[in-house]
Structure formats: structure tokens, C-alpha cells
Chain A
Amino acid sequence: MDGRALLDLAVGGIAVGGWFLAYLLARVVTRPASPRPEPATPDLGPESPAVVSLVVNRWALTEDAAESTLLDLAARRFIELRQPGAEPAQTTVHLPPAAPDESGLRPYERHVLSRVRGLTVGGVVPLSALTFRDQAQAKRWEKRLRAEVVAEARAAGLSQRRFGPAVIGTLVTLAALASVVTGTAAFHYGVWSGSEDNAGVATGIFTFMVLAAIAGISPGERDTPLGRQVAARWLGVRDWLHGHEQFAELPPASVVVWDRYLAYGAAVGATHLASTILDLGMGNRELVWSSYGGTWHRVRVRYPRLWSRYGRTTSKLLWRALLAAAAGLALLAFAPRGLDSLPEIDLLDDAVLAVGVLLLLTGTYKLARTIIDLATERTITGEVLWLEVWDTASQGEDRPSRPVTHYLAVDDGTDDRTTAWALPSEWESRCHDGDTVTIRVRPWSRRVVELTIVGHGRSRDLAEAPTGDIAAPATPRFLPTTDEVARALGRPIRDGDRVPLGGALYLSADRGKALLLVQALGGTPGRWAWRANSRGQALPGIGDGAFASGDRAALRVGETTVVFTLMGEARDRQAYLPWLAAQCATRMASGPS
């Protein structure tokens, strides 16, 4: 390599490396403290168990926060935990006939309480049925809980952002410096190498965007002086509880005797058995609680992975059966004669004949089973226990694969074991776990050929809106609804997927292809977006200003800019962009996002 190229590369590398050193230094300097525990004491403080969990775990919120909050609600008689036998795992949660006044409950306590209440059937839910069946929902729920607990801790002066404005400002300034140096080095390289397209500016901008984005990622929370004092006191409580060996083995139902001590014990990590049994995270997909029929029972679900027939369409099954039979016949008809030239190799001849017979039998069997499968379709009504992607199809190198088939586990109340059905993915958005559905199925291929929603389940009401994420902005509520987009684009649409920086991507319901991207931007990015897109045909009377140009439209209301971009097959629906913009503008004008 040329010496000048090496020099340019070294200058750029040193600039970026220097920035990462500064970032590392910032992380080291702002790392949460490890307070020294005060002497062991049983005296509890005024902080809630969730906040205690945050400060004793070095300002990182663990699953203990939700679990200790649940125990605390039990200690305060908002719920009751009952253990019907010797096995603590059989503990059930009951709603008391007369709950105490809830006005003093904190947001995250309401959050946990509403989840329990939402899942009860006849006022009862097994403790182990409080888990989630949807990974995305579990994450949203956890993020919202975290945001609420952190907000309270910050308000009480016990916690603060690990990277404050000063640190972020310094890192962004250093990122700007590093990007100027990198850009200059790239520019220099472009000049002396005689490149037609000098990439200096682009390199500088790219470097700045990447480094600034890294600086902007929240590394979590850290201590405050008051937080350290409080943590030290609670670490003393933890030591006290650790000193009592029996405490670690108390079951959740013992909260009736130990009251809030058990909740705080869970918060500081002094309970073992109770924490093992309590779980508010993702549930086990193979052993799922069902309340279908009015009583709680566990259903063991099997998810076939290697069945070649599983979820296949009739045409595909027939094609495979015929192909196998034809191949078998071909071998039987032609191979023995073709092998006559090798009479000494009897073994090979026999093997080919055997394979031919096997293929013919397999093909015939599959053909018969497929026909029987078609003739024996049946209808099942039951509760959706689990729904997840099974099979996907590639859409090319640059695009994510799209789901083709989903596992659909349904409990019809007849057996405590079931095998998941194969649901075509275009119907996936219609049902939700906990819903009561009627499905027409083919028993051999396990394929669902018709889906009807009979009733919505409780978990729909508990579904977390994609909000509460403190790292990423929430999806604004004024964005077009799925129905509006479907009307504008003239085809069924799946629920809008959230995109970074606040917006949604709308996909076609059948093939999952991107059709419309809507981005809502405020502040400086919003102003830039407005500058870049306020061209083309003016759309009077929509918001504070709106323009449409080709497959793109932009809308401005107050400080917010909304940009609509048609994609793929939807590019021919440009005439409907003004209508979509008008719908958003009306909502933006009528209320907060």
C-alpha cells in the first residue's frame, strides 16, 4: 500500500480510535457505584421493593423488580397468594372480595396488578400462568415497568442517567472532531489518488452519524449521593435477611406471615424459592396454561419440526406423492434393465429395486393420506395457547425473510396434550393468544384452512402498546391506522411495524411486502425533513403545510413533520397520499400524540 494511503488511514483510525477511548473513559467514570453495606438490620425503609431492586443491583433493573412488586401487592392485601398443598409451584393468585384503596399505588404497581387482574378467571390465576406468550409483548411490558421504576427513582433523587447532557455533549463534540479529521483524511486520499468521486464529505458525515448514534444510546442508570446512602441501608437489610437461612426457602404464600419482608427479600435477592417460582417473563411454550372451559389447566404442546407433511398445502402434498411414486415406478421399470450390463453387482440391483419399491409405496401412501386428509377436515373450537413463526421464505439477499407458516397451538378442552396446527401466516394478525377461535383443519397435514375468531381473549386487553421505551421514541398515535392505509392502498394491510425515529412501516397482509413508510419527526430532524420534502404540489388546507411529489408526501403540523413514502407495488397509489395526510393532520390538530 502507498505510504500516503497508510498515513490517511492511520489519521482516520487514530481519530475514530481516540473517540472510542473517550467513550470507554466516559463509561468507566460513570459506572454505577458499589456502596458498602451498612450493618445488618431488619429495619425497612420507605422505598418500594422495585426501587430497592434497582439500587441494590447497581442501578440495573432485574426481573426481581416485577416479582417483588407482586409479592408486595400480596403483602398489602391487593391480591392473595394461596398454596393448596405441599408444592409451592402450585400457588394460585386470588383477587380479594374487597381490595384496599388503590389511590396510593404507584404506576408500576398498577401495571403489575392490572396484569394479574386481566389474567384471572373467576378471580383466580395460577402463579405460574402470569408469564407472557409473546416475546415482543414481554419486552414492551418489561420496558414500560423499567421506565416507571426508573422515573420514580430519579424523582426521589436515587438514580440518574449514566450519561448526562454534559457527557453526551462532550462525546458528540468529540465525534464531530473525529469526523472532521476522518473526512479530511478521506478527502486528502481522494485528492492525491485522483478519484473522480471524492468521498471526504460523505466519510465525515457517516463517521459523525455513527459516533453520535453510539453516544446517544443510553447505557442505563447510575448512582447519586442519596442513592448510594439508600443502597447501603438496603444492602444492610439484605445481609440481615441472608443471615436467616430459612428465609431463602420461604414459598411465595408465606407472604401472609412475613408481609413486606418477603417482598423486600425478593427485591434484594435474599429469597431463593419464592424467586424461583415467581416468573413474570416469557412462559414455556411447551407447557401452557389454558382457562378454556372455565378452569385453569396445563396443556403440553408439541411443535413438529421434521414432519415433511406439516403445514403443506394439498397441491404440494399431491405433487410430492406423485413425484415419489413416479420416481419409484421409473426405478422399477428401467433400472433393472439398465443394470443388466453389470450382472455381477446383484446387490446394487437389489438396492435399486428396494428403493424403487419404497418410493412407490411412500408415494402411494402419501397420495392416499392426502386424499383422506382432504376428506376428513374437521372443525375445532378452542383457546389460542401459543402463536409463533414456524416457516419462513427468503425474499432475496437484502430483504428479511417473510413468515410463511405460524405454529398455532389451540386447546379445545378435550385433552391436556396437543400438537400445534400450521397456520398460514397471512392470518396470523387476526388472532392473538387467549382468543377463542374456530378453525377448520386437515388432521394429517395439520394445516389450518379456515380461521374464525369467536371471542377476544383477556391478553388482548393486556397487550402493551409499543410505548414506554425510554431508549427509542414511541410510535405517534396520529399515524394512519391499518384500515386507513388499506383503504388508501386498495389492499389488505398488516398492522404497522414500528420503525426507528418514530414511525411505522405498513406491509401487505398476504405477502408481507413493504408498501408504505410513514415517518414522524420533530425538532431539528423534523425541520430538515420538511426542507427536503416541501416541494412538488402544494396541498392547501392540510395541517400547517403539505406537499406531494411523486410517491412521496410531507405534512407539517407545529414542530412535527410527517413524511409518507409509497413503496413497491403501492407506488401507483400516489393519488391517495393527500387523503392519508389529511387524516393524520386532523388527528394531530385534535390532540397530543
Chain B
Amino acid sequence: MSGGVVLGVVGGLLCLLAVIVIGWALVAYNRLIRQRNQVQASWAQIDVQLKRRYDLIPNLVETVKGYAAHERGTLDAVVAARNSAIAASSDPRVGDRAAAENMLTQTLGRLFALAEAYPDLKANQNFAALQSELANTEDKIAYARQFYNSAVQTYNTSVQSLPTNVVAGIGGFRAQDFFEAGGGERGPVQVRF
């Protein structure tokens, strides 16, 4: 076999290999894009519910004030936590925002616990409606967080594992933070098998 033929075969094989590698890289890149978009879409769902919660809190505070005005400390804590959460909403770091939101969740929990001591407040229809709406929003936040964390896990697995991490590095894909639950929600999970 002449040297030219050998060179041609080797060259052809190298070209084929290059095509395969480029094809794989394109598929991997598109998959990363799709996963990152899913993370962003999942985050948007959390964002919607969090904003809904911000909107409900002023009405809740006003309603509680009418029955328990002297519980100023708790009310102020709720307002302050809401303001901190709103301020953190412009922070791109998910961890910081999660901390602010978890603080708000805890203060809201204290507010509802306080309401137990005021039968008139509990009987107030507006308060009951707000409480129900907030509980519903909390549920939605919980599910949205599950979806977000699921999307982040899939995305991070792709970004960090070989050989996709090569494409991720070139394409500027970075691992995302999980939206972690607050202290109360991270209690021991009772599993019965």
C-alpha cells in the first residue's frame, strides 16, 4: 500500500472522528442549554409565588393590627423580613435569597402562632382568607422549589460530569445553587418502611 493511500485512510478516519466529536459536542451543548433553560423556568415559577407572597403580607399585617396592635414586635419582624426578602430578590445568589425567604417564612409562622391567642382575629373572614391564600402560596412555593432543585440537580450533574464538563467549561455553563428549605422544613424525615 502506498504512503498516499495510508495517509488518505488516516486522514479520513481523523475527519470522521472530528465529525463525531463535533456532533457530540453540539448535542451536549444543546442539552446543557435546555437544562439551563429548565432551571431558569423553574426559578421563574418560584419567583412568581414569592412575589405573590410579598403582595399578601401587607394586607395580613393590617388585618392583624386591627386585633393585636400591641404585638408590635412580631408585626415589625414580619415587615422587616418582607423588606429584606424583596431586597434580596435582586440578588443573583440563590443562597442569599433562600435565606431571606426562609426568614420570612419563619416570621410568618410566628405571626400565625400569635393569631391563635386572638379568637376574634381567627374569626375574621379576611384573616382566614389571607391565611388560606398564604398557605396555598406556601404549598406552591414548596412544589416549585422541588421542581427547581430537581432541574438544578440534573443540570449540575451534566455540568460537573465527564466529558460534558469540557463543553460546559467552553460554553460558560456554571453549576447553580439549590434553593434549600428553611430550618423547620429540614427536620428529620420520618420514613416508615
**Which residues of B lie under 8 Å from residue A85 when comparing CB positions?**
193
Q: Which of B41, B192, B193 contacts A243 (CB 8 A)?
A: B41
Q: Indicate whether A261 reaches chain B with its CB closer than 8 angstroms.
A: yes
Closest to A242 in B: B38
B129, chain A: closest CB distance, angstroms: 19
- The range of chain B's interface size is 10 to 19
Q: Indicate whether B151 reaches chain A with its CB closer than 8 angstroms.
A: yes
A273, chain B: closest CB distance, angstroms: 14
Chain B proximity mask over A47-86: 1 for CB below 8 Å, otherwise 0: 0000000000000000000000000000000000011110
Contact B146 A257 (CB under 8 A): yes
Q: Indicate whether A245 reaches chain B with its CB closer than 8 angstroms.
A: yes
Q: Indicate whether B54 reaches chain A with its CB closer than 8 angstroms.
A: no
**Which residues of B lie under 8 Å from residue A246 when comparing CB positions?**
150, 153-154
**Which residues of B lie under 8 Å from residue A259 when comparing CB positions?**
143
Complex Cα distance, B187 from A422, in Å, reads 58
Compute the total of residue contacts between A and B using a CB distance below 8 Å.
32
**Which residues of A lie under 8 Å from residue B144 when comparing CB positions?**
42
Q: Indicate whether A528 reaches chain B with its CB closer than 8 angstroms.
A: no
Contact A243 B38 (CB under 8 A): yes
**Which residues of B lie under 8 Å from residue A257 when comparing CB positions?**
146
Contact B193 A244 (CB under 8 A): no
Q: Indicate whether A40 reaches chain B with its CB closer than 8 angstroms.
A: yes
Contact B143 A42 (CB under 8 A): yes
**Which residues of A lie under 8 Å from residue B153 when comparing CB positions?**
246
Q: Which of B34, B38, B143, B192 contacts A261 (CB 8 A)?
A: B143
Complex Cα distance, B144 from A244, in Å, reads 12
Q: Indicate whether A579 reaches chain B with its CB closer than 8 angstroms.
A: no
**Which residues of B lie under 8 Å from residue A82 when comparing CB positions?**
192-193
Q: Indicate whether B147 reaches chain A with its CB closer than 8 angstroms.
A: yes
A256, chain B: closest CB distance, angstroms: 9
B20, chain A: closest CB distance, angstroms: 24
B143, chain A: closest CB distance, angstroms: 7
Complex Cα distance, B146 from A363, in Å, reads 72
Besides the known contacts A84-B193, A244-B147, 12 further A-B residue pairs in the complex with CB atoms under 8 A apart: A40-B41, A42-B45, A42-B144, A82-B193, A83-B193, A243-B38, A244-B154, A245-B35, A246-B153, A246-B154, A247-B150, A261-B143
**Which residues of A lie under 8 Å from residue B41 when comparing CB positions?**
40, 240, 243
Contact A258 B146 (CB under 8 A): yes
Name, among A85, A244, A258, the residue most crowded by chain B CB atoms within 10 Å (CB to CB): A244
Complex Cα distance, B150 from A257, in Å, reads 12
**Which residues of A lie under 8 Å from residue B42 when comparing CB positions?**
244
Chain B proximity mask over A350-366: 1 for CB below 8 Å, otherwise 0: 00000000000000000
Chain B proximity mask over A235-258: 1 for CB below 8 Å, otherwise 0: 000001001111100000000011
Complex Cα distance, B151 from A246, in Å, reads 8
Chain B stretch 130-149: residues in CB contact (< 8 A) with chain A: 143-144, 146-147
Complex Cα distance, B147 from A259, in Å, reads 13
B165, chain A: closest CB distance, angstroms: 17
Complex Cα distance, B150 from A245, in Å, reads 8
Closest to B149 in A: A246
Chain B stretch 37-90: residues in CB contact (< 8 A) with chain A: 38, 41-42, 45
Which A residues form the contact surface with B (CB < 8 A)?
Answer: 40, 42, 82-85, 240, 243-247, 257-259, 261
Q: Which of A84, A244, A261 contacts B151 (CB 8 A)?
A: A244
A97, chain B: closest CB distance, angstroms: 12
A127, chain B: closest CB distance, angstroms: 14
B63, chain A: closest CB distance, angstroms: 27
Closest to A83 in B: B193
11 pairs, CB–CB < 8 Å, chain A vs chain B: A42-B147, A82-B193, A240-B147, A243-B41, A243-B151, A244-B150, A245-B154, A246-B150, A246-B154, A259-B143, A261-B143
Name, among B143, B153, B192, the residue most crowded by chain A CB atoms within 10 Å (CB to CB): B143
Chain B stretch 110-145: residues in CB contact (< 8 A) with chain A: 143-144
A184, chain B: closest CB distance, angstroms: 66
Complex Cα distance, B146 from A246, in Å, reads 11
Complex Cα distance, B38 from A243, in Å, reads 6
Complex Cα distance, B193 from A240, in Å, reads 31
**Which residues of B lie under 8 Å from residue A40 when comparing CB positions?**
41
Complex Cα distance, B42 from A243, in Å, reads 10
Chain A proximity mask over B10-51: 1 for CB below 8 Å, otherwise 0: 000000000000000000000000110010011001000000
**Which residues of B lie under 8 Å from residue A84 when comparing CB positions?**
193
B161, chain A: closest CB distance, angstroms: 14
Q: Would you list the 7 A-B pairs with minimal beta carbon distance, nearest first?
A: A84-B193, A243-B38, A246-B150, A245-B154, A244-B150, A246-B154, A82-B193
**Which residues of B lie under 8 Å from residue A244 when comparing CB positions?**
38, 42, 147, 150-151, 154
Complex Cα distance, B145 from A257, in Å, reads 12
**Which residues of B lie under 8 Å from residue A243 when comparing CB positions?**
34, 38, 41, 151
A43, chain B: closest CB distance, angstroms: 8
Complex Cα distance, B131 from A74, in Å, reads 27
**Which residues of A lie under 8 Å from residue B154 when comparing CB positions?**
244-246
B156, chain A: closest CB distance, angstroms: 12
Closest to A241 in B: B147
Complex Cα distance, B65 from A271, in Å, reads 47
Complex Cα distance, B143 from A240, in Å, reads 13
B158, chain A: closest CB distance, angstroms: 9
B179, chain A: closest CB distance, angstroms: 15
Name, among A40, A42, A85, A258, the residue most crowded by chain B CB atoms within 10 Å (CB to CB): A42
**Which residues of B lie under 8 Å from residue A245 when comparing CB positions?**
35, 154
Closest to A41 in B: B45
**Which residues of A lie under 8 Å from residue B146 when comparing CB positions?**
257-258
Chain A proximity mask over B146-172: 1 for CB below 8 Å, otherwise 0: 110011011000000000000000000
**Which residues of A lie under 8 Å from residue B193 when comparing CB positions?**
82-85
Name, among A84, A245, A247, the residue most crowded by chain B CB atoms within 10 Å (CB to CB): A245
Name, among A84, A85, A240, the residue most crowded by chain B CB atoms within 10 Å (CB to CB): A240
**Which residues of B lie under 8 Å from residue A42 when comparing CB positions?**
45, 143-144, 147
**Which residues of A lie under 8 Å from residue B150 when comparing CB positions?**
244, 246-247
B38, chain A: closest CB distance, angstroms: 5
**Which residues of A lie under 8 Å from residue B143 when comparing CB positions?**
42, 259, 261
Complex Cα distance, B143 from A523, in Å, reads 55
Complex Cα distance, B38 from A246, in Å, reads 12
Complex Cα distance, B144 from A83, in Å, reads 25
B176, chain A: closest CB distance, angstroms: 14
